[in-house]
């Protein structure tokens, strides 16, 4: 029997959770839920979900803190829900490790499309058996779903992995932000350019932790265009 993928839905609005649950279960997913941040962390460890839908504004522990704690130990994909329109909330969620976001109000079909797209990207990366790519000390192993710097493994979210592997496999080529958004979020991207900037900021921090300034500098910004990857001292 094929195991159903499990989705953890965290929101303090029971009606919203019920509607999202109905659509996801009808599409073949197993759904567990939580109504506050504390319960969300408990359910995360108990259910071991394949993807988490997490509201930004939660009782007990807010969604940003829940996201921060999960990212300390797991790379499970996270889709943030927010009722706020300000881009700072979306950027903060992405910087903490969320893979995508959707702003309330939204249609159940829209969130179902996001869930499918995120899981499809994760599954495709897991199934891709291309030979490892090396750019200086950076090594991208798609088959193992692992990126290392001088042998040190980088703890990346699925979106960060997708972004860095895209830059590495096209080393030297300039990718526009739009191209990178499409690689990260597929055909469901929100057209929000600073999403890419937030992910790049996270990647540079993680590269710097593994290899110092030289590692962080491997991702080069091309003004008014996007980003490219260059070998150190290239």
Interval 165-187 mean pLDDT: 80
**What phi and psi, each to the nearest 5 degrees, are found at residue 94?**
-65, -40
DSSP state at residue 158: H
Domains, the chain, ordered by start? 6-125 (3.40.50.2300), 129-229 (1.10.10.10)
β-sheet bridge partners, residue 227:
175, 221
| pLDDT tens column, 44-98 | 999 999 999 999 889 999 998 999 899 888 888 999 888 765 555 666 667 777 8
Helix (H, G, I), strand (E, B) or coil at 4: coil
Q: What is the pTM of this model?
A: 0.62
Selected residue with higher pLDDT from 115 and 233: 115
Model confidence at 188: pLDDT above 50: no
Model confidence at 126: pLDDT above 60: no
* Residue 24 pLDDT class (50, 70, 90 cuts): very high
């Amino acid at each position: 029997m094929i195991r159903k993928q499990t989705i953890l839905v965290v929101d303090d609005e029971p009606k919203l959770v019920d509607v999202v649950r109905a659509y996801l279960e009808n599409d073949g997913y197993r759904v567990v839920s939580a109504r506050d941040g504390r319960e969300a962390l408990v359910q995360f460890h108990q259910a071991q979900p394949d993807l988490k839908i997490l509201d930004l504004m939660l009782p007990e522990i807010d969604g940003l803190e829940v996201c921060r704690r999960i990212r300390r130990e797991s790379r499970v994909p996270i889709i943030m829900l927010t009722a706020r329109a300000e881009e700072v909330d979306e950027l903060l969620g992405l910087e903490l490790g969320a893979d995508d976001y959707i702003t309330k109000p939204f249609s159940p079909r829209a969130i179902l499309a996001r869930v499918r797209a995120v899981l499809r990207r994760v599954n495709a990366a897991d199934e891709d058996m291309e030979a490892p790519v090396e750019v200086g000390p950076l090594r991208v192993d798609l088959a193992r779903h692992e990126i290392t710097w001088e042998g040190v493994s980088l703890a990346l979210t699925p979106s960060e992995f997708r972004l860095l592997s895209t830059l590495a496999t096209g080393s030297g080529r300039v990718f526009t932000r739009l191209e990178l958004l499409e690689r990260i979020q597929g055909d469901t991207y929100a057209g929000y350019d600073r999403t890419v900037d937030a992910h790049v900021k996270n990647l540079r921090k993680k590269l710097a932790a593994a290899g110092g300034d030289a590692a962080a500098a491997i991702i080069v910004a091309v003004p008014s265009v996007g980003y490219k990857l260059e070998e150190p001292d290239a």
